[in-house]
Structure 1
Amino acid sequence: MILKHSKDKRAVFDFEVDFLNGGGLQGQGFRLDIDGEEIADCDLSDAVVRDLRLLMVDGVRILNKQIIEERHKRCVAGSSADVNRLSVPTYVDLSHTVHEGLVTLKGFPAPVICDFLSREDSRKYYDADTSFQIGRIDMVANTGTYLDSPFHRFEYGKDLSELELASLVGLDAVVARVTEREGRAVGREVFLPLEVRGKAVLVETGWSRHWATEQYFEGHSFLTREAAEYLRDAGAVLVGIDSYNIDDTSDGARPVHTILLGAGIPIVEHMCRIEELPTSGFRFTAVPVKVKGMGTFPVRAFATLGAP
Structure 2
Amino acid sequence: MPYIDLTQPFNQSISLYPGSKPPVIKSTHRVATDGCAVKHFSFNSHQGTHIDAVAHMKEGGKTLDELPIEYFLGKAITIDISEYATRLVPKTAFDQHIENLQLADFALLYTSWGKKWGTLNYADDFPILSPEAMHFLCQQNIKAIGLDCFSPDPVTSIDFENHHIAFSYEVLFVENLCNLELLPTDQLINFQCLPMKIEDADGAPVRAMGHW
Q: What code does the residue aligned with 1:196 have?
A: L
Structure 1 unaligned regions, length at least 5: 1-88, 124-131
Selected match of 1:174 from 77, 81, 85: 77
Selected match of 1:184 from 87, 98, 116: 87
Contact 1:222–1:243 under 8 Å retained in 2? no
Q: How does 1:121-270 map to 2 (within 5 A)?
A: 121-123=33-35, 132-169=36-73, 171-181=74-84, 183-194=86-97, 195-197=100-102, 198-270=104-176
- Name the TM-score, length of structure 1 as normaliser: 0.64
Task: State the identity as a percent.
Answer: 25
SS of 1:180's partner is helix
C-alpha spacing 1:182/1:247, structure 2 compared with 1 (3 Å)? closer
Q: How does 1:1-308 map to 2 (within 5 A)?
A: 89-123=1-35, 132-169=36-73, 171-181=74-84, 183-194=86-97, 195-197=100-102, 198-279=104-185, 280-305=187-212
| Bigger Rg, which one | 1
Residue 300 of structure 1 and its aligned partner are, at CA, apart by 0.8
| Equivalences, count | 208
Q: What code does the residue aligned with 2:3 have?
A: Y
Q: What code does the residue aligned with 1:225 have?
A: P
Contact 1:104–1:142 under 8 Å retained in 2? no
Residue 106 of structure 1 and its aligned partner are, at CA, apart by 2.1
Deviations 1:24-69 (A, max 9, x none): xxxxxxxxxxxxxxxxxxxxxxxxxxxxxxxxxxxxxxxxxxxxxx
Residue 199 of structure 1 and its aligned partner are, at CA, apart by 2.2
Deviations 1:86-111 (A, max 9, x none): xxx32101110001232321221111
Instruction: Give me the whole-angstrom Cα distance separating, in 1, the residues matched to 2:182 and 2:88.
Output: 23
Instruction: Give me the whole-angstrom Cα distance separating, in 2, the residues matched to 1:295 and 1:302.
Output: 21
Deviations 1:203-238 (A, max 9, x none): 011112211111111222122211111011122221
Structure 2 unaligned regions, length at least 5: none
- Name the TM-score, length of structure 2 as normaliser: 0.91
Contact 1:150–1:158 under 8 Å retained in 2? yes
C-alpha spacing 1:150/1:182, structure 2 compared with 1 (3 Å)? closer
Identify the structure with bigger relative contact order (alpha carbons < 8 Å, sequence gap 6+): 2
Residue 182 of structure 1 and its aligned partner are, at CA, apart by 6.0
Residue 141 of structure 1 and its aligned partner are, at CA, apart by 1.3
Instruction: Give me the whole-angstrom Cα distance separating, in 1, the residues matched to 2:20 and 2:84.
Output: 30
Instruction: Give me the whole-angstrom Cα distance separating, in 2, the residues matched to 1:185 and 1:270.
Output: 19
Instruction: Give me the whole-angstrom Cα distance separating, in 1, the residues matched to 2:175 and 2:128.
Output: 11
